[in-house]
Chain A
Amino acid sequence: MHKVKTLRFKTGIGFFLIGLCVFFLSNVVDEWRAFQGATVAVYVVAIASIILLTGYSGQISLGHGALLGIGAYAAALAQIYAHLPIWLCFVTAVLVTAIFGALLGVAAARLSGPYLAGTTLALAVGLPSIASQFSILGGEQGISFNVGWPPLSLGADFTQYKWFFWIATIAALIMMWFLQNILSSRYGRMWRAVKSNSVAAELAGIGIGSSKVLAFTISSGVAGLAGALLAMTTNNVSPSVFPLALSFSLATGAVLSGVNTLGGVMIGSLALVAIPEIASSASNLWSESENTAMILPELIVSALLILTVFLAPKGPIEKLRARHRH
């Protein structure tokens, strides 16, 4: 922990550079790439929330897609019924999801790995169908969430997707900065202590239950923001935006990033966006049936998942670090 100061300085510069890169990137890429960039930023936020939960606090969630859904609906409802300005909609998404996460966390804190995984899976399966029960949520069609056109001051040729890209990137950078800080604060140390040896942590005076609930609450809040951002890119919130498959892809992204290192979050997010793209161009190359393009991404992702579990269980970054040390 003696490195904390230099680390913060370095990460500060890092964030600035990433922001600068994205700024220039957004000016040269076409609409589709800008949309993909926005998606990557959304995944960064979502995967970071899982890494915080699993890698640092030792709790597993297979149902983060459901939490994203809650954030998205909260943001959309805040816009439609309370007519809040758009940034307040995002704040609402964070707060509402965090409250839900706190409730869930109280139950989760008492559960060990497989139970928590099963419980969050049950949430991911069960929650989307609620949208059909209450008419305020718009059923299968869902409700709209519209962040509006980019402000005119940015210029007339500033496109919609570029605007999404900007919003998502800025949100992602703020969140990553926040998470970096909280993980190097006493809460971060508390979580790591509880994860690595809960008995010792308890003897050191750490409240295990409350530390886990706090981690779940923060993780949920961050996931809620990711959900609102995702809804922004689709202009719409409906159960089909948050299927069970989303929860699985997020868990996959977290594993590919390496759940123990927040810094790896870009790897998983890029992989989730790039693999379908690469797979579809690869299958076009072989000019086989459309079916191949549909199933190839899932095959690659699943194979990567199993390979990661065997070859780099602590994630690619830790693997590289371990190699450097020897």
Chain B
Amino acid sequence: MFQFINTLLIGITAGSIYSLMAIAIVLVWRSTRVINFAQGGLALASSFVGASILAQQISFWIALPIAMIAGALFSALTEYFLLRPLLKRSGDKGEEIFLPIIATLGLLGIIKTILNFTYGDRIGSIPPPISDKGFVVGGQVIALSPMRILILGIVLFLMVLLTFLFQRTNLGLALRASSYSPEISRLAGVRVDVIRTAGWAISGAAGAAAGILQTTNGSGAISPESFEFSLLLVFGFVAAVIGGIESLIGAVLGGLTLGVILAFILMYIGGSLVFFSAFLILIVILIVRPHGIIGVKGGRRA
């Protein structure tokens, strides 16, 4: 029972971080119908920004927002200089659907070389700002630590912020409208191109937060050749698909579901099967419930 609750806590914390990454993927998908395979790389670059600010003995509470702003900037630049010309060029025919995928892969390579060039063998370090020692309950150390509470708090805060943004502001309305129907929104006077860039920017900020939190929750260190961030991208993608890839709430639920399932596999079956299970979960979801577990009908064509 004790181990069960611990596993659940670990799963929920990890899952909340996957949720953030899933939100980043969903936002990009909703604004341009593209999966950004450089999302992990952009998050890594933003985390390096955060790490270099922390290295100046500046507080975590300044480093996190600055990294998120950097993430937003990186992501917006990507949309503006890479995806927008590409999508304009290939038109809406979508005959060469693999081109955006390949372009984001190329970007991923370039980000990695830039990071390698700047940092080389040096690794960035993002230590937990507060204690990551678990609380002691009844003589036993549980998996819940102040740091984990902080992670959950940050994720929750960002979710509330995003919900407010999407439901209560004009920008949110424009984002929803141009995702629902770019043509009609354009006719209604929404500047769809600008809104798309804004969608990418928010996505970049969410990805940066996911990257930083993932690092503090994990090893505390990042390197330019990080495998962690490829995993983060894949887990975020799986979480987004579980949630039906259109919905922000779905992304959150998908992330938490994935986090908890993977934590139990890690604890009870075996560590080396975790990565492969993510693939199996993805396949099962795509075959059994292609529109995601919360079931936005017509949300996507498989």
Of the candidates B35, B106, B238, B301, the one whose C-beta lies within 8 Å of that of A303 is B106
Most buried by B among A119, A122, A131: A122
Given contacts A118-B237, A118-B241, A299-B109, are A294 and B276 in contact (CB under 8 A)?
no
Whole-angstrom distance between the alpha carbons of A117 and B105 in the complex? 11
Contact of B101 among A111, A113, A125 (CB under 8 A): A113
- Minimum C-beta distance from A139 to chain B (A): 9
| CA distance in complex: A113, B101 (Å) | 9
Q: Are B112 and A298 in contact (CB under 8 A)?
A: yes
Q: Does A266 contact B (CB under 8 A)?
A: no
Given contacts A291-B117, A299-B110, contact A130 B103 (CB under 8 A): no
- A309-B103 contact in complex given A125-B234, A302-B109, C-beta closer than 8 Å: yes
Size category of the binding interface on chain B: 35 or more
Are A110 and B276 within 8 A (Cβ)? no
What is the CB-to-nearest-CB distance from B129 to chain A, in angstroms, rounded to a whole number? Answer: 29
| Nearest chain A residue, comparing its CB with the CB of B119 | A291
Pick the contact of A112: B105, B227, B272, B301 (CB < 8 A). B301
CA distance A298 to B34 in the complex (A): 24
Query: What's the minimum C-beta distance from B72 to chain A, rounded to whole angstroms?
Result: 22
Task: Report the bound CA distance from A306 to B106 in whole Å.
Answer: 6
B153 near A: Cβ within 8 Å? no
**What are 25 A-B contacts defined by CB distance under 8 Å?**
A60-B97, A60-B98, A62-B37, A111-B286, A112-B302, A115-B286, A118-B35, A118-B241, A125-B275, A126-B234, A130-B273, A132-B272, A133-B270, A248-B109, A251-B102, A255-B102, A295-B116, A301-B109, A302-B106, A302-B107, A302-B110, A305-B106, A306-B103, A306-B106, A314-B96
Residues of B at the A interface (CB closer than 8 Å) are 29, 33-35, 37, 82, 85-86, 89-90, 96-99, 101-103, 105-110, 112-113, 116-117, 120-121, 227, 230-231, 233-234, 237-238, 241, 270, 272-279, 282-283, 286-287, 290, 301-302
Besides the contacts A117-B98, A299-B113, what 8 more A-B pairs have beta carbons closer than 8 Å?
A126-B275, A132-B272, A259-B98, A295-B116, A302-B108, A313-B89, A313-B99, A314-B96
Question: Which residues in A have some Cβ–Cβ distance to B below 8 Å?
Answer: 54, 60, 62, 107, 110-115, 117-119, 121-123, 125-127, 129-133, 244, 248, 251-252, 255, 259, 291-292, 294-296, 298-299, 301-303, 305-306, 308-310, 313-314
